Amino acid sequence: MAKVAVVKVSPSTILSDVARVMRLAEYDRYLPRDKDTALKINISWHRFYPACSTTPWQLDGVIRTLLSDGYSADLIHGCHNDTVVVDSKKGEVNNHQRQVVVDKYGLRNVHLYEDEAWVRYEPKGKLLVLDKVYPEGILIPKRLIGENIIHLPTMKTHVFTTMTGR
């Protein structure tokens, strides 16, 4: 069963607000502490536009909360996918995610399109369209199988929002 938590935030309390919303959602009930935890960082633009990409304070708040709640830094890593429009390596620097937050905590930083094995995903049920979009099969990064994944959402405010639905 899904649980949704909503918290009104402010600049002066944002880090504790992130912790509060995570704990209200009871995230730790679903993320075992002994598994790797991927922080799926969202980068929509190479430039820093708050609300288009994961903000440094959102990422910092999530990491602080995980560490405070007993998750090991050795088992947490930033995680990036590849896109046709954004260079995630430029984006993570320009959006102050890598050097300001991930490196500050000494976390690993994984780019899923580099040196990662991918495996075919076999759906257990009927898909609406994904199997038609990828008729040769759906490939996923092998490393994510069995990992915790925290997807850092954003509220999209750019022109492609209505086209991509992201």
For residue range 2-29, what is the model confidence (pLDDT) as tens digits? 788 899 999 999 999 999 999 999 999 9
pLDDT of residue 155: 67
- Domain ranges, residue 138: 27-158
pLDDT of residue 4: 86
Q: What spatial distance separates the first Cα and last Cα of the chain, rounded to whole Å?
A: 23
Contact 147, 37 (CB under 8 A): yes
pLDDT of residue 30: 94
Task: Count structural domains, the chain.
Answer: 1
For residue range 130-166, what is the model confidence (pLDDT) as tens digits? 888 998 889 999 999 999 999 987 766 656 555 554 5
Q: Is the pTM of this model over 0.85?
A: yes
In a domain, 144, yes or no: yes
In a domain, 143, yes or no: yes
